[in-house]
Structure 1
Amino acid sequence: MVPPCGTWGHGERMAYTTAESWLGQRFEPAGPPDALVMRYLAAFGPASVRDLQAWSGLPRMGAVLERLRPALRTFRDEHGAELFDVPGARRPDPDAPAPVRFLSEFDSVLLAHADRTRILSEAARRRVFTVNGIVRATILVEGFVQGTWRIERQRGTATLCIDPFTRLSRETRGALTDEGARLLGFAAEDARRTDIRFGRAG
């Protein structure tokens, strides 16, 4: 779409042009997506064909992964789906502790897979993905989405508001408080005062 289409308050018929015409140059033919696939797997593997297609928006990625198979490692998830990964990726022990984490809005961890149930229940998904397309900032507890967070500013004070989906243990609240203080030091370093507030669970 070319201006003024796509701007607030413009309700007239849409006008379109080609990217080559708009930029004034011709594009080279698209090359194979091999490098894109390898970078995706390095960031988000192990992943299935469906995961890769959901993230990239590209169809027929099964053929690409099949071509790259000799350079990849493969696994099976608990449902039998084949997963692909780069050979040298770090794979923590299944019993390794997962520290609490704060994920930003639209975090790729929630957007990079077709199957998000590895870390996000269906009930939690309805609270994180809004009807108008917003993906809320979330907290991870033991590797699973267990709430949302936001920073509210008022009169020089930045308050980190944590809204858990379920009751949190004292140890978890303490870990979130420690990690939240580090988050505020980064995201609200200009605030004169900072505070952390937990909402009611549920």
Structure 2
Amino acid sequence: MNLSPNDLIMLFNDVFRERYRTILVKGSHEPEYIPADGPEGLAQVVFAHGYYASALHEISHWCIAGEYRRTLHDYGYWYCPDGRTAEQQQAFEQVEVKPQAMEWLFSLAAGSRFHISVDNLSGAGAADEPGFRRKVRAQAQHYLEQGLPDRADDFFNALLSFYGTRAGLIQAWRQDAERIAPLTCTSNFSRKTEAV
């Protein structure tokens, strides 16, 4: 399947431009959120370097941000860049569970491959990558069972319709969940008990 960020721009803008005065924009550098500069202005969700996955991730952050946060540049959050300490990385992983779970479901709906991101290549790496993966999987499962927040649900359904992935979604989820965060234990202990 040919996945173009232009399709995401079209879908996002069709769903949210009028209702939320917000558009998705292909950026050339780092992603950011730029609030509207007045009542007639448009807020911009800017994704990095035209990357498809970056667009899905930034849309996820926008879908989570509340009304007040959407009036602030980058939702009012301070971002600590790659190269984080262990404590900073732990905080990063805590706040990234919901957006990455949402991005994962958007990826499935679009038929694209999702990758967990601990986003700390120059630092100490993940604080707890297996734990982070399990938390993202649990949150995505919760969204599937209980429903996504309203804006996320609107975009999720737009993706499912546009890419025609609704019928195979649950099977794709099951396969992908095992790839991203397997629930089966593959430790030496389990291998030893299998041999007995």
TM-score over 0.5 for the alignment?
no
Which entry has the higher C-alpha Rg, 1 or 2?
1
Q: Which structure shows the higher strand fraction?
A: 1
Q: Which structure shows the higher helix fraction?
A: 2
Report 1 or 2 for greater relative contact order, CA contacts < 8 Å, sequence distance ≥ 6. Answer: 2
